[in-house]
Amino acid sequence: MITSPSIGPAYLRRERVVQPWRVCLVIYTLLIIITTHWPGSPPEAVEPRHYFPDKLIHFLAFGGFVLLLWSSGWSRTWWAASLIGVAFVLVDEWTQSLFASNRHASGEDMAAGMLGVLTASGWMTALATPETHGFGSRSRRLSFAFETFLEQPSNILRLLVVASIPLLIVAVLIYVIAWNLFHASMGNLALTLGLLASLLAMNFFLRHRMRSVLNAIEERKPCFACGESMKSQTSDEYGWHQCTACGEEAHRSQWMPITLPRVSLRMIMTVDGPSGIACLMLYVLLGLVFGPYALLVSGQSGLAGAILFTSLGLLAAMLWSWRSQRLGSWFQSMGVRCAQCGEDLTGITADRGMGHCPQCDTDFARFQRQQDDEKGIANNAHTPSNA
């Protein structure tokens, strides 16, 4: 029997990790198809008093589909996932007029779905940005912990419950209060505040639940590629290990929490210089002010909410990407200045790639071998002389 060399421990772990995402994607896609093709209500003779946040639901539904597709591994590139998402929006809207009674294809629904795909594309590119080894290891540490957490189906169900309950309670409560006080149907506002409550609840839940997972990572020292423990292995003088199962290299600092420097909003916004700030201000004016306002006064309140969500989502993805660049550049020079107190660390000796600030005792890491390899020093130092 011939086994493909690509089917190794790292491949098997990747396939195991994406299984929950694939199950969620299949169920989620079926739910979208069923709900969008469910027979609609006959046209009402009078103007409805309550308005469903239909456009915002389309935005969230198809944006979520693209993110799930990307996370499932069935589409490994952001642009392929985005194209599939666009095709799904068009086909789903077109088939409603063919197979569902009292439903028709709507250009506004298509636009809202496309905006959701666009926002998801921005986040996929931000999360897939190449990172330096130090910052990449920290990101992979959190990703590995999250993947380990989701490997248990019970944790997925708990997370869904934690996300759903605040969403429903806050959204319904805000809508009822707004209707009783102002006699206005504020579905978009109610759903927005419900989503914020859901995100806060999930953040609190994950922070609490992930502590034990991160502690287990620090104790077990797993390879982030294949999951095998590297605890029994001894690192070299620079703190590097090599996994015996898959050959992946790992620095001993990647399993430990490393103190990060405080990155202010001003530092994030100046990553691309004055031109970046100018483009950002123009984007804020068009996407957060003029675009939603123009749609709102023209009677397209649903699309105005979708445009506002798109602008906020892309702005957040942009700031996330710039923050990652700042932290990546800091990790490249890590071990030069303390992230906590700013103490000069150039003269401090690191023990197998790790050290402590003498001023505040904060841990730091040095990826010395990688730096030497980039300069061509390490290879030359280990090449025997012909003299």
DSSP strand E in the chain: where? 240-242, 249-251, 354-356, 363-365
Does a structural domain hold residue 348?
A: no
The pLDDT confidence band at residue 129, using thresholds 50, 70 and 90, is low
The pLDDT confidence band at residue 2, using thresholds 50, 70 and 90, is very low
The span from the CA of 179 to the CA of 16, in Å, is 47
Question: Please, are residues 68 and 18 in contact by the beta-carbon 8 Å criterion?
Answer: no
How far CA 183 is from CA of 68, 154, 170, 176, 219, in Å, comes to 38, 42, 18, 9, 57
The residue out of 101, 129, 157 marking a domain boundary is: 129
Q: What is the torsional sign of CA 199, 205, 211, 217?
A: negative
Report the domain count for the chain: 2
Does a structural domain hold residue 62?
A: yes
**17-31, 79-93, 263-277: range with lowest mean pLDDT:** 263-277
Residue 150 tokens, joined: 């989701």
Does a structural domain hold residue 363?
A: no
The span from the CA of 239 to the CA of 250, in Å, is 8
Does a structural domain hold residue 22?
A: yes
Q: What pTM was computed for the model?
A: 0.85
pLDDT at residue 172 is higher than 80: yes
Does a structural domain hold residue 24?
A: yes
The span from the CA of 345 to the CA of 365, in Å, is 11
Does a structural domain hold residue 155?
A: no
332 SS3 class: helix
The residue out of 72, 104, 129 marking a domain boundary is: 129
How far CA 149 is from CA of 115, 124, 180, 248, 326, in Å, comes to 31, 21, 42, 22, 28
Does a structural domain hold residue 244?
A: no
pLDDT averaged over the chain?
83
The span from the CA of 347 to the CA of 337, in Å, is 10
pLDDT at residue 3 is higher than 70: no
Residue 372 tokens, joined: 């030497």
Does a structural domain hold residue 139?
A: no
Q: Which residues contact 137 (CB under 8 A, 6 or more apart)?
A: 224, 250, 251, 253, 254
The pLDDT confidence band at residue 386, using thresholds 50, 70 and 90, is very low
Phi and psi, residue 351, nearest 5°: -95, 105
The span from the CA of 249 to the CA of 277, in Å, is 38
- Give the tens place of pLDDT for each residue, 216-266: 999 999 999 899 999 888 888 888 889 999 988 888 888 888 777 777 777
Residue 364: strand pairing partners:
355
- Give the tens place of pLDDT for each residue, 7-37: 788 888 999 999 999 999 999 999 999 998 8
The residue out of 107, 129, 151 marking a domain boundary is: 129
The span from the CA of 285 to the CA of 10, in Å, is 46
Domain that holds residue 19: 8-36+51-129
pLDDT at residue 272 is higher than 60: yes
| Average pLDDT, integer, range 70-97 | 92
